[in-house]
Amino acid sequence: MESTQQAEQQRSAQQRRRQLLEAADRVVLRDGPHASMNAIAAEAGITKPILYRHFGDKGGLYRALAKRHTDALLAALRAALDAPAERRRRVEATLDTYLAAIEARPQVYRFLMHPAEDSQLPEQGFDVGRHSAPLLRRLGEELATVIRERVDLGPDSEQLARVWGHGIVGMMHGAGDWWLGERPCSREQLVRSLADLLWGRLAEVDDREGGPGF
């Protein structure tokens, strides 16, 4: 009986956490990097101390939102990489998936990657850079794993896959951040240009034997 009650309490807590994250998402979509704990608590219909009880502080809430969105992005990137198409097309589809995600929800992207520089909120000391760096590192490691599974890079495969994974994520992040702010070209043009930059060595390597290919 006790274990059943504990399991029910755990399910209830997980459901409540999802509801709070959905409320936070709505505020972030509206306010971007200016989203405050006060606004999120009000959106969820609770007091700020209750929000703190679930997430600790804004950093805890940020990490929970970052994981939520990173999980969804990684699933979409893997789907693009595994699509039944030739390799160049999959490279372009993967780049486009990332750019489409930040274009579709720019306020979420800015909340995750940029501080509110002119904010007068009590949380203005929140260091977004300190929290966003692990997010980019996670993307880099995940992409490295995908590359290592799909491409035969020779005796230094693991190290080279990590170099490529973090390098590609850094390129996508830097180019995407610039493009989202200035819109100097179409998304399609940016995708083609970045794919051209990546294509040299990728065109030469073989798919790993027995792997899903790349």
SS3 of 113-149:
HCCCCCCCCHHHHCCHHHHHHHHHHHHHHHHHHHHHH
The residue type found at 198 is L
Contacts for 193 with CB less than 8 Å, ≥ 6 apart: 185
Sign of CA dihedral 108, 112, 117, 121: positive
- If asked whether residues 186 and 142 sit together in one domain, one would say yes
Predicted structure pTM score: 0.80
Q: What is the predicted pLDDT for the residue at 120?
A: 41
Domain ranges, residue 110:
65-117+129-202
Q: What is the predicted pLDDT for the residue at 209?
A: 60
Tokens 């007091």: give the residue.
Answer: 47
For 190, the token pair is 């940016």
Paired residues of 206 in beta bridges: 152
- If asked whether residues 52 and 73 sit together in one domain, one would say no
Q: What is the predicted pLDDT for the residue at 122?
A: 43
Distance linking the first and last C-alpha atoms of the chain: 50
Give the three-class secondary structure for 36. Answer: coil
Structural contact between residues 194 and 172, judged by C-beta atoms closer than 8 angstroms:
yes
Residue 213 lies in a domain: no
Q: How many distinct structural domains can be found in the chain?
A: 2
Question: What CATH number corresponds to the domain at position 43?
Answer: 1.10.10.60
Among candidate residues 17, 38, 14, 18, the one with its CA nearest the CA of residue 27: 38
H-only helix segments in 56-105: 58-81, 87-104
Q: What is the enclosing helix (H) or strand (E) of 151?
A: strand 151-152
Q: What is the predicted pLDDT for the residue at 86?
A: 86
Q: What is the predicted pLDDT for the residue at 186?
A: 97
Q: What is the predicted pLDDT for the residue at 118?
A: 47
pLDDT in tens, the chain (214 residues): 557 777 777 888 888 889 999 999 999 999 988 888 999 999 999 999 999 988 888 888 888 998 888 899 989 988 988 888 888 898 899 999 999 999 999 999 998 888 665 444 444 445 555 667 888 998 999 889 988 887 777 888 889 999 999 999 999 999 999 999 999 999 999 999 999 988 876 666 566 665 555 5
Q: What is the predicted pLDDT for the residue at 129?
A: 58
- If asked whether residues 81 and 144 sit together in one domain, one would say yes
Question: What CATH number corresponds to the domain at position 172?
Answer: 1.10.357.10
